[in-house]
Homo-oligomer: A and B are copies of this chain.
C-alpha cells in the first residue's frame, strides 16, 4: 500500500492528503436541511449530512490528490450513525481510487492491539467466513505502550500489504510535555523515531517502509532531525494551514528524492468556502472551493520544494 501511495503522489504531483474531519459547523446549510428533512435532527440525520458533505468533497478532489485521511473522532462523536458515515466515506474514497489513511490513533497491547489492527486494516474470522471491519489502507497508531502495541499492527500490515503511521512528534502546542522530555541527552521523540525506523525494517516496500511516522508541520527543525533518523519511513505531516504550518516549513520533512512526506490539510480544504479567500464560491459550491484550496496547497508545496533545489 505504501507503493500505491507513492505512485499516487507521483501521478498527481501532490504529496497532499485531504483530512476529512467534518464538523457540523462546516457543513453547508442546504446539505444539513436536506438530511434533517429526511431523517430529522437525529444522529442519523447528522450522519447523512456528514456523508453527503464528504461525498461532494471527494468528487471534487479525487483526481488531484492521492489520499484522504478521515479523522474517526469526528464520526465517533455521533455514535453508531457517525461510524456508518465513516465506513461509507472509507468505501467511497477507495472506489474513487484514493488511498485511505484512517486517523484513528489507536494503541493498546497484545490481543487488544491485534483487534484494532484487524478492525481497521485486516480481516476478522466469523465461523468459516472472513470479513473486513472498517478496511482502511493505513491507520495512525499511538506508541506509548511500546512494541507490544505496535507489533500486532505490523503483523497485519505484512499480511494485508497495508501500513501504519506511528505518532512521533505531534503538531499541538503541548506535545512537548512528554514527547520533548530529555532522555540520556536526547528528546523522547527521537527515541520513538528510532523505534519507528527499527519497526519499519521488518516491513519494507521498495524504497520506503509500511511503517511511517506522524510529525507535525509546526516543528520543522525537529522534522529535519527525524527525517534523518527514519530515512525509510514516510512522514505524515499534520498542522499545515489552519494549525499554522506553511509551505516553507515542509521542506525538511522531504527526502532528496522529493518523496518521503505527505502533508495533511483538513479544515483549510474541507471548509475552504468559509474563508474570505474562497468566499466567492459560496456555500452551494463548497466543493469547488475545496478544489481551489487543494490546487493552491499543491502550488505552495511545489514552490517550497523547488526552492530548495
Contacts and interface: CB of A to CB of B under 8 A. Distances in A.
A153 B48 CA distance: 26
B77 A133 contact: yes
Interface in A119-152: 119-120, 124-129, 131-134, 142-149
Q: How large is the interface on A (under 10, 10 to 19, 20 to 34, 35 or more residues)?
A: 35 or more
B133 A79 contact: yes
Given A170-B109, A178-B143, A119 B82 contact: yes
B179 A144 contact: yes
B178 A115 contact: no
A146 B189 CA distance: 13
Interface string A155-182: 0000000000001001111111111011
Contacts of A178: 143-144, 146, 188, 191-192
Given A112-B21, A125-B24, A148 B131 contact: no
Interface string A74-95: 1011111011100100000000
A108 B105 contact: yes
B87 A131 contact: no
Contact of A115 (B74, B128, B195): B74
A191 B195 contact: no
A11 to B, nearest CB: 30
Contacts of A84: 80
B79 A131 contact: yes
B174 A73 contact: no
Nearest to A140: B108
A191 B177 CA distance: 9
A108 B188 CA distance: 18
Contact of A106 (B105, B118, B144): B105
Interface stretch (A39-47, A54-62, A201-209, A294-302): A39-47
Contacts of A278: none
